Amino acid sequence: MPEILLTGFQPYGGRQLNPSAEIIRALDGTKIAGCSVRGMLLPVSFKAAQQPLEDAIAEHRPTVVVSAGLWPGEPVIRLERVAVNRASFEMPDNDGQRPLDENVDPGGPVARAVTLPVGKIIPALRAKGIPARTSDTAGTFLCNATLFRALGACERAGTGARCGFVHLPYLPQQVAELLDELSNEGRLELHQRADLASMCLDMMLDAVGTILTLSLDPS
């Protein structure tokens, strides 16, 4: 019985919400193209986020593993192509840890390539009217580290699982709150901000559903 493993992150950086957590809340326990979705909410912790994910891959041997995360300011659905073996956090994680220029896995390769059918997914998303693009960097924060470790775990599981990462824009209400906060604090110098784009949850869910459906299809 094939299974999808879909992970998201808890809120971080002082934010109330994380769109990837909302995705998990909505899709955990549902079926997509006849396949059960196991949702998994990861802590925003360099130390604690990785092992549970690797264990889940080893134990449940999912057919498809997709992690989702927030990229503040990203205006479109963004599908990653590659994860690098580097952790250099621009801000502390929720444990207060901030690795700088470390390896995610000291014994690992320089990078790992995503195994989702990205070239099939992007045109399908756009054909549905969903703005989407590929990306060749998942950053060096926890999103990248998670993708790097998940790809390694899938390799070790030897199941041929397809594994990748989708970066999500802010939810609209997050930008509404951000504008209010900045304004109240006298810091709303809009010309300094590149992070006011957002996407509604329904469109994100449609996007993630499409990504999972096409990733299940071996053709």
Catalytic hit among 35, 154, 163, 167 = 167
| Sequence-ordered list of residues with C-beta below 8 angstroms from that of 125, at least 6 positions apart, any chain | 77, 131, 132, 207, 210, 211
Site string for its own copies, 4-43 (x = CB under 8 A): ---------x------------------------------
| Residue 119 binds its own copies, judged by CB under 8 A | yes
The residue from 25, 31, 120, 187 that contacts its own copies (CB under 8 A) is: 187
Q: Identify residues 41-100 at the interface with its own copies (CB under 8 A).
A: 71-76, 81-82, 84, 86, 88-92, 98
Residue 144: Cβ-neighbour burial (10 angstroms; 0-12, 13-18, 19+) = buried
Within 10 Å of residue 34's Cβ, how many Cβ atoms? 9
The residue from 29, 106, 129, 218 that contacts its own copies (CB under 8 A) is: 129
- Report d(CA 23, CA 138) in Å as an integer: 19
60 noted as active-site residue: no
- Report d(CA 201, CA 112) in Å as an integer: 29
DSSP string, 131-187: -EEEES---SSHHHHHHHHHHHHHHHHTS--EEEEEEEPBPHHHHHHHHHHHHHTT-
Q: Identify residues 144-183 at the interface with its own copies (CB under 8 A).
A: 144, 172-173, 175-177, 179-180, 183
CB of 109 to its own copies, least distance (A): 7
- Report d(CA 116, CA 163) in Å as an integer: 6
80 noted as active-site residue: yes
Q: At what angle do helices 142-157 and 50-60 cross, to 10 degrees?
A: 30
Catalytic hit among 35, 143, 154, 163 = 143
22 noted as active-site residue: no
- Which residues of this protein are in contact with its own copies, per CB under 8 A? 13, 71-76, 81-82, 84, 86, 88-92, 98, 101, 109-113, 119, 123, 125-137, 139-140, 144, 172-173, 175-177, 179-180, 183, 186-200, 202-203
Active site residues: 80, 143, 167
